Structure 1
Amino acid sequence: MSVSRRVELVVASFDDPIVTGLLAKARPRAEASAAGQTVVPRPRSGADPYGRHVPADAGVVFVVARRADAPDGPVGCAGLRRIADDTAEVERLYVRPPYRGQGISRLLLAGVEDLARRRGFAVVRLAAADLRVAGLYVSRGYVRIAPFGRRPGPSVCFEKSLLVTGGRPG
């Protein structure tokens, strides 16, 4: 019998038990970082830039990744928050450790961008908690921008246009 590695993306609300469960799994890493312990790599989780847990709220909708061969539930998620009429923020991109390095972050990012496009956003922004993931963002068409919104000065932020240019998404 072969085990399927197909990943299914589903949209879930901020208070869906799948989302709250995933963010709870991300929380210990954020808390260890806040305590001064080195945690590598540090995922985008339900934590602010200072490592304090920030619960998801009604302004965030999530794309959740599930795999049929994952016996212990969903494998990752990415949140989408409206920050202006035409701009949304991608936040809390998280993939559980056993499933990292398998392209799931890339699928989640594509899925959350598609959700933003379907909801009428022209631009998505995000803040990188770890510069080692900057290559993923750049490969998906993101460009570096100045910190935005509630981000502290040293944050590394990115932006991507979702407008179709030359027959392909930008």
Structure 2
Amino acid sequence: MLRLIHATEEFEYDQARELFLEYVESLGVDLSFQNIATELQNIPGEYAPPDGCILLALDSEQPAGCVALRKIDEQVCEMKRLYVKPQWKGRGVGKKLALAILDEAKIRGYSFIRLDTLPTMQQAIQLYRSLEFYPIEPYRFNPIEGTLYMEKQLK
């Protein structure tokens, strides 16, 4: 049975670290501009409560996916690292994680949630559109051509 949890313990941060790394490797692009090595080393880092969080999807205590939330400013947060392991794709895990992180953003009082995604990630883009994310102008540096920036109003 799939369940979602907040990563709060070191072993859960280790699971998140592994999933984040799998995610980065699955993209096949260089994310060094995001200081990914530092991010992985410092988990929870920018995702630490109370302003952010990391959610893990677990099946029989084995990680199936993850998503993270971090603060941009008092009104705006960012969804990061939404990832579902290949054997779990097509089962609604990504949608469950995305809906849960939207709830987390609302609980924390944010008015908007943003994300960026690659044009090759068509399933993710379709999910974001179904959740009423809309295109916006770039809000942070990303040198990858065609990067899409999206936002959703929460209030």
Cα gap change, 1:57 to 1:11, in 2 (>3 Å): closer
Mapped partners of 1:103, 1:140: distance in 2? 13
- Report the counterpart of residue 148 of structure 1 in structure 2: 139
Unpaired runs of 5+ residues, structure 2, are: 48-52
Give the drift of 1:91.
0.2
RMSD: 2.6
> For 1:159, which of 116, 130, 151 is the aligned residue?
151
Give the drift of 1:121.
0.7
Give the drift of 1:90.
0.2
Give the drift of 1:153.
7.0
> For 1:134, which of 107, 125, 129 is the aligned residue?
125
Match of 1:108, as an amino acid? Answer: L
Once the two structures are superposed, residues 86-141 of structure 1 have per-residue CA deviations (whole angstroms, 9 ceiling, x without a partner) of 11000011111111111100000000010010011111000113341211100011
- Report the counterpart of residue 6 of structure 2 in structure 1: 11
- The within-5 A match list for 1:31-110 is 31=25, 33-34=28-29, 47=31, 53=37, 54-55=39-40, 56-60=43-47, 61-68=53-60, 73-110=62-99
Structure with greater helix percent: 2
Native 8 Å contact 1:18 1:74 kept in 2:
no
- Report the counterpart of residue 167 of structure 1 in structure 2: none
Partner SS, residue 84 of structure 1: coil
Mapped partners of 1:17, 1:148: distance in 2? 33
Unpaired runs of 5+ residues, structure 1, are: 1-5, 36-46, 164-170
Partner SS, residue 75 of structure 1: strand
Mapped partners of 2:59, 2:144: distance in 1? 38
Which is greater in Rg? 1
How many aligned positions are there? Answer: 143
Native 8 Å contact 1:65 1:77 kept in 2:
yes
Partner SS, residue 24 of structure 2: helix
Task: Report the TM-score, using the length of structure 1 for normalisation.
Answer: 0.72
